[in-house]
């Protein structure tokens, strides 16, 4: 267990409600979550309309701030692909879904997923805390040496635990859409150095159609944090619009962990 940080190293005036909005896995979870899984449960493997908040559900509600409205998540059959996908919809809302994992990054170092945006949010801006919304985010949670974190990060973790009753992950890498930032932009969080967002899509050119992504997790983590990632301990999705007080609509396809691509043999001279 990490040593209790000194209070004098933390910003005493930081509002507790603001800490509850940290997008670092400090959400209020059910008291008895299922054991960590070795793989991400595919939405297409679940039945349309099946519960996402039952005791045996692989995906669990992730409450960012109990004082805010929740995003609605529902398993539906997509009209375009005729497969089961996750529909996310909300108005001035913020909540997500997560699944606990225990995965070695060396075995499956790549992440692939699809999403479809139903509404853009031109007022959002991931760089500004007051407008930090996105209709579509996929998040990875990582383990690490919590005891080595600076005192301020320790203080944030302690306060988040008091608010939520849960322990924050060591770090979080988020992949997100933004209305104007170009893809490959890395956005640090305003409050914690343990959350970084990588923009993978922007603008509304692809609005209404499915977009597919495949990422090298370790390479992205090194770009975002400047160090090697630890073991993956969770995955999440987040559609939020609470800061901009707007509407949000998106669909998520399956999120998959993939092995490294085979090494191609060099061509003969």
Could you read off the pLDDT of 62-80 as tens digits, one per residue? 877 778 899 999 999 998 8
pLDDT at site 66: 77
pLDDT tens by residue, 16-62: 444 444 444 444 444 456 678 889 999 999 999 998 877 778 998 88
Could you tell me if residue 43 is inside a domain?
Answer: no
Could you tell me if residue 86 is inside a domain?
Answer: no
What band does 105 get if pLDDT is binned at 50, 70 and 90? confident
Could you tell me if residue 66 is inside a domain?
Answer: no
Could you tell me if residue 69 is inside a domain?
Answer: no
Could you tell me if residue 263 is inside a domain?
Answer: no
Calculate ∠ Cα 87-224-185, nearest 5°.
65
Round to whole Å and give the CA distance between 96 and 90: 11
Domain that holds residue 231: 98-258
Calculate ∠ Cα 173-77-254, nearest 5°.
25
Could you tell me if residue 3 is inside a domain?
Answer: no
How many separate domains does the chain show? 1
Could you tell me if residue 44 is inside a domain?
Answer: no
Could you tell me if residue 268 is inside a domain?
Answer: no
**What pTM value is reported for the model?**
0.85
């Amino acid at each position: 267990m990490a040593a209790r940080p000194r209070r004098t190293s933390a910003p005493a005036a930081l509002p507790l409600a603001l800490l509850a909005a940290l997008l670092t896995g400090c959400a209020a979870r059910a008291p008895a979550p299922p054991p960590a899984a070795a793989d991400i449960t595919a939405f297409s493997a679940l039945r349309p309309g099946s519960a996402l908040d039952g005791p045996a559900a692989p995906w669990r509600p992730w409450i960012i701030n109990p004082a805010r409205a929740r995003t609605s998540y529902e398993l539906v059959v997509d009209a375009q692909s005729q497969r089961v996908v996750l529909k996310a919809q909300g108005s001035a809302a913020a909540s997500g879904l997560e699944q606990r994992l225990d995965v070695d990054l060396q075995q499956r170092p790549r992440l692939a997923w699809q999403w479809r945006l139903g509404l853009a949010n031109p007022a959002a801006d991931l760089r500004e805390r007051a407008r930090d919304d996105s209709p579509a985010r996929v998040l990875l949670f990582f383990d690490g040496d919590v005891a080595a974190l600076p005192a301020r990060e320790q203080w944030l973790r302690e306060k988040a635990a008091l608010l939520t009753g849960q322990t924050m992950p060591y770090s979080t890498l988020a992949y997100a859409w933004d209305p104007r930032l170009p893809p490959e932009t890395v956005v640090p969080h305003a409050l914690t150095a343990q959350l970084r967002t990588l923009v993978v899509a922007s603008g509304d050119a692809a609005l209404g159609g499915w977009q597919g992504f495949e990422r090298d997790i370790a390479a992205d983590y090194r770009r975002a944090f400047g160090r090697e990632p630890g073991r993956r301990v969770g995955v999440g999705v987040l559609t939020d619009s609470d800061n901009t007080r707007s509407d949000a609509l998106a669909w998520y396809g399956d999120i998959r962990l993939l092995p490294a691509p085979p090494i191609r043999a060099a061509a003969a001279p």
